[in-house]
Structure 1
Amino acid sequence: MLKRGEFAYNKSYSKEAPYGSIKRLEKYNEGALSTLYIAFTPENINSDFLKAFFDTTKWYSHIVQVSTEGARNHGLLNISPQDFFEMSITIPKSDEQNNISRIYNLMNSLLSLQQRKLELEKQLKFFLFQNAIPSKEAVIFKPKIRFREFQDKWKYAKLSEIYNTTRGAS
């Protein structure tokens, strides 16, 4: 069982996480993990600083040195908890940890807001073009959204009528 604020190392690797990933449980009070995970509780360190550290690739070099891929565990690195906990990391004084953590959290918030803004703008784009181009089923080929200066009806045409095709050409 993992408790909120505790970390777990997932030894499964992928293109996005070539040496696995280390994440902190944040959304739930408790979580159940497979025994394949290595779980730990940070002590004497700012947990947000540690989260920021594990979001970098700084810890990869240790994993490279102590892990192998097992013959039967394709996609899973063989690393013992003892080898994992031998990892050395550089830790600044607590005030600097706090400052790094604050910047890290602010950047994450900013990125989340920008991602949400991007998603909303994609939805707006989809809506606009869905309504700016009429469907061929419309009795009158007139878009729902128009520029004021254009009020003529649209005509229906086959692609072959507006495009010069050449067979066999790419």
Structure 2
Amino acid sequence: MRSFQGGFETSYLTGITSPAYTIFNFIDNQSQNHMFWQYLFKRKNFINSLKKVTFGIRDGKAISFSQFGDVKVEYPDFDEQKHIAITLNKIDDTIQLHERKCEELALIKKALLQKLFPKKDEIKPEVRYKNFSDAWEQRKLGEVGKTFTGLSGKTKEDFGHGDAYFVTYMNVYSNPISDLNMVENVEIDTKQQEVKKGDVFFTTSSETPEEVGMSSVWLGEEPHIYLNSFCFGFRPTGNMFNPYYLAYLLRSNNIRNKMMILAQGISRYNISKNKVMKLDITIPNIREQQKIGEFFKQLDSLIALHQRKLERLKQLKKFLLQNMFI
């Protein structure tokens, strides 16, 4: 029997299993609800209670059935077991529903990032909105904006306090549109470049080429906001871009593939901002940009909604597991 990671499972099938596992059953099957015990055995509190009877030196410590049989467990009568199991099972079903919904929406987004933006060597997308037929302009990124650096000349003592903030690396990496709350304190420094609404941030280094050059657009207007030192900024000139269009364009498959080609390194990969500025991008008129940008904005909002519901359900399940068992 393996006690690590809640290594207990309930079988609803008849068959055989590996000798690496111990199989046990109740003396009186009719008096116990198997689903209730499945939840009980997987509770962290129960797993932790087994530490005193486990043996082995690896992470997956083992426990003998004779030792397991001596562990005392408090449990309710069959009817209460049944109600607890039904409640938790309904929550699990709902969690799975929202997980599938999030996965489906993510796949839809991935497909549309391919369809609504031009593919490699193309100058127009496969799918376009009705009444839009104008040619898309092709420009190098460096022709439509200027770069700037993140924080420089700082030590660890400069962070964690102060009236200014900096945009974190994980904010840039994780979000096509920067999360205005994913910032951390730093002292005000007039020598540093403040970020502005519409700025684009790029990560410059990562452990894999697939994660280099991830981009994020900043829509905040607060003063004294800087960029972290592991990213560089790009400021578009004029009003050529809808910020949401630009955010999702730079996360499209075509641009991401180009970024991966630029990544250099062995154990850690880096990207040159000068090479990024030489990337070709495609630009429709501003009205078509707004259509595309608004669509992906709403799609991301829908994904975020299901993710929040999913997180609340997981928190509810955690609360019930802590409070419905002794």
Q: Where does residue 99 of structure 1 map in the other structure? A: 83
User: 1:149, 1:86 → 2: CA distance?
Assistant: 74
CA offset at residue 166 of structure 1?
A: 6.8
User: 1:92, 1:99 → 2: CA distance?
Assistant: 11
User: 1:153, 1:90 → 2: CA distance?
Assistant: 72
For 1:1-170, what aligned pairs fall within 5 Å after superposition? 9-11=1-3, 13=4, 17=5, 20-26=6-12, 28-35=13-20, 37-42=21-26, 43=29, 44-70=31-57, 74-138=58-122, 141-148=123-130, 150-165=132-147, 170=230
Q: Which has the higher contact order (CA 8 A, sep 6+)?
A: 2
User: 1:10, 1:163 → 2: CA distance?
Assistant: 58
Alpha carbons of 1:152 and 1:55: their partners in 2 closer, same or farther (altered >3 Å)?
Answer: farther
TM-score relative to the length of structure 1: 0.73
Q: How many residues align?
A: 149
Aligned-partner residue type, residue 33 of structure 1? S
CA offset at residue 101 of structure 1?
A: 1.0
How well do the aligned residues superpose, as a CA RMSD in angstroms?
A: 2.5
Aligned-partner residue type, residue 34 of structure 1? P
5+ residue gaps, structure 2, are: 150-203, 205-228, 231-326
CA offset at residue 152 of structure 1?
A: 2.7
CA offset at residue 41 of structure 1?
A: 1.2
Contact 1:10–1:21, Cα closer than 8 Å, also in 2: yes
Alpha carbons of 1:48 and 1:164: their partners in 2 closer, same or farther (altered >3 Å)?
Answer: same
For residue 23 of structure 2, give the secondary structure of its aligned residue in structure 1: strand
Contact 1:136–1:156, Cα closer than 8 Å, also in 2: no
Alpha carbons of 1:153 and 1:34: their partners in 2 closer, same or farther (altered >3 Å)?
Answer: farther
Contact 2:2–2:61, Cα closer than 8 Å, also in 1: no
Higher helix share: 2
Percent identity over paired residues: 23
Contact 2:55–2:61, Cα closer than 8 Å, also in 1: yes
Contact 1:23–1:51, Cα closer than 8 Å, also in 2: yes
CA offset at residue 150 of structure 1?
A: 4.7
Deviations 1:61-110 (A, max 9, x none): 3311111324xxx3331422111111222111111111111112111111
Contact 2:33–2:82, Cα closer than 8 Å, also in 1: yes
User: 2:141, 2:56 → 1: CA distance?
Assistant: 54
5+ residue gaps, structure 1, are: 1-8
For residue 157 of structure 1, give the secondary structure of its aligned residue in structure 2: strand
Alpha carbons of 1:96 and 1:136: their partners in 2 closer, same or farther (altered >3 Å)?
Answer: same
